[in-house]
Amino acid sequence: MAQDLDYMQGAIILDKQAADVVVYADKLTMYLGFCQNGTGVKDTSQAIWAVCKVVQSQDTYPYTVQILWSNGQRMKNQVFDAYAALNYTFKQF
């Protein structure tokens, strides 16, 4: 179990490092934005983003982590500025 948790935390850290934008909504929720390649200026008001919501159930162990994508997809066609209003669902890739 702890090994699974370590793997998940490592994957989240890698995603966070790869993200073009990271927003912490609170201590248990963060949003990651991944911009289309070759877009030079990363304009968060343009529909060129894949937006991911990472939610931790609580700040003490044991906790669960949900990784949700806007509209259940990783397509880079969302406006990052609207991250709080987007619909997030789980998607198996």
- Residue 11: pLDDT band (50, 70, 90) is low
pTM (predicted TM-score): 0.80
Per-residue pLDDT of 45-88, as tens digits, reads 999 999 999 998 888 877 888 889 999 988 999 999 999 999 99
The answer to whether the beta carbons of residues 42 and 20 sit under 8 Å apart is yes
Half-sphere exposure of 80 (CA within 13 A, CB side): 23
CB neighbours of residue 27 within 10 Å? 8
pLDDT exceeding 90 applies to what percent of the chain?
Answer: 52
pLDDT of residue 42: 85
* Residues paired with residue 67 on neighbouring β-strands, in sequence order: 54
Higher pLDDT residue, 2 or 15? Answer: 15
d(CA 63, CA 81): 29
